[in-house]
Structure 1
């Protein structure tokens, strides 16, 4: 189980750094222009804090896997994280329209990979609670 936490930690850190390319990839300069200043800034600032939280979660998995698995408090934290990623998995299918990825090779691959990743993290963290 510790190995799974270490793998998850590395993947979460990679995911956090992937947020750096969001503004350019999603063309936020043009796409967010019609929004009010507050909505543009919320989008940018929330993306930063999501990336920061994902990074810190990855760091937690890398540095404290044993505590997350073996202590009562760690198990509760793991359960909460597992529930978070399970809900994120549900949103992968019901929060985003399928027209964003269906029939598009790259987007479909990304959709499948993220679905597997969110499912993997859900199982690992929830299992840690019950072990």
Structure 2
């Protein structure tokens, strides 16, 4: 159940971004939502880099590639949402 609700939350974020992008970038409430999403993805990046054990991916080719790609993805998401919120 926990995994389902995490996936559902991330899916809902994506649907919000696809269906309401004009409101997200053009209204005060949208900027607040973008700020919250930026904080969410930045915290997710922090957890990936400093909380999870490197033993989960170090020395494993596929896991290392996935670790790097998702770290870049979470960096991108945090920057884009925070940039949108603050500009």
- Give TM class, smaller chain: over 0.9
Report the structure number with the largest CA radius of gyration: 1
Q: TM-score, normalised by structure 2?
A: 0.97
Question: How far apart in 1 are the matches of 2:10 and 2:86?
Answer: 23
Say if 2:28 is the partner of 1:72.
Answer: yes
Which ranges of structure 1 fall in alignment gaps of 5 or more residues?
1-44
Q: TM-score, normalised by structure 1?
A: 0.65
Q: Write the deviation string for residues 44-103 of structure 1: whole angstroms up to 9, x where unpaired.
A: x11000101111110011111111111000000100110010000000011110111011
Match of 1:114?
Answer: 70
Residue from 19, 22, 28 that aligns with 1:63: 19
Runs of 4+ in 1 over 4 A off after TM superposition: none
* SS of equivalent residue, structure 1 residue 56: helix
Match of 2:42?
Answer: 86
CA RMSD of aligned residues (A): 0.6
Say if 2:86 is the partner of 1:130.
Answer: yes
Higher relative contact order (CA 8 A, sep 6+): 2
